[in-house]
Amino acid sequence: MAKLNKEVDIVRGDVVYDDGTHKFIWLGWEEHEEEGFVQVNQYLIENKNVGVILDPGGVHVFPRVVANVSRYVDLERIQHLFFSHQDPDVSSGVALWLSVTPAKVYISKWWVRFLPHYGIFDMTRIVPLEEGGGRIQLPSGDYLEIIPAHFLHSVANFHVYDPRSKTLFTGDLGAAIFPKGQRYPYVEDFDSHIRLMEGFHRRYLASNSIVKKYLEKIKRLDIERIAPQHGAMIHKKEHIQRFFNWLGNLRCGVDIADEFYK
């Protein structure tokens, strides 16, 4: 049965879902908001004592994230590291994570050639993802579905669907930019939250036609929460539907290119 903690320690994070053998965990934030620092979310899936980390983050957040992960599962039990795309706030800590875990790294094949710039030269633990996505198979028999989300915003980009918790991890899709001192982990007022998402999505997503292809791809999924890499989790069914409706009608990227080439 799903569990949503109302009293949330934003530094230590929150167990978003727990059915006894499977957890979906938000790994918290830095205690103090830093000027010019991009706020990021990391997530841990713990399935029968096997760990999967989604978008582990950069060097700056590594100490906090590794400490929070260790509260739930031993680092030697982290078997999979998933990177939605190549941005440094997602993946620049990859060498650190490979040094403290035995995990494999899942990332688009188009970004593998960039890993040496993050200090990775041994590719034996790298799993290049093909365009169509795939699965992360867990020892228990459970799996995570890797879903193509190309051009949203990266040209080679993936999301993850966790069927057990019915959680869709959406990387930068669903990102919100909080005013200083006004961050929150869960969306309660969707109308206000849209205003925090709009600027990012209009500028960073490639086009409405790409958005529509993605929405067609995921319409079969039973989604109870959306977990983005920036901003707040969307955990109410009516808000999830409103989010997808909003996206489907959003003019973005090349649709509004005249605004950028004045």
Q: What is the pLDDT of residue 247?
A: 98
Are 249 and 202 in contact by the 8 Å Cβ rule? The answer is: no
pTM given for the model: 0.95
| Structure tokens belonging to residue 8 | 């949330």
Confidence category of residue 216, pLDDT binned at 50, 70, 90: very high
- pLDDT tens for residues 83-131? 999 999 999 999 999 999 999 999 999 999 999 999 999 999 999 999 9
The answer to whether 44 and 72 have CB atoms below 8 angstroms apart is yes
Q: What is the mean pLDDT of residues 191-219?
A: 98
Residue-wise pLDDT tens digits, 36-60? 788 999 999 999 999 999 999 999 9
| Structure-model confidence comparison of residues 8 and 18, the more confident one | 18
Burial classification of residue 26, based on how many CB atoms lie within 10 Å of its CB (0-12 exposed, 13-18 middle, 19 or more buried): buried
pLDDT at 78 over 80: yes
6-20, 57-71, 176-190: least confident range = 6-20
**Confidence label for 6 from pLDDT (cuts 50, 70 and 90):** low
Residue 3 has pLDDT above 70, yes or no: no
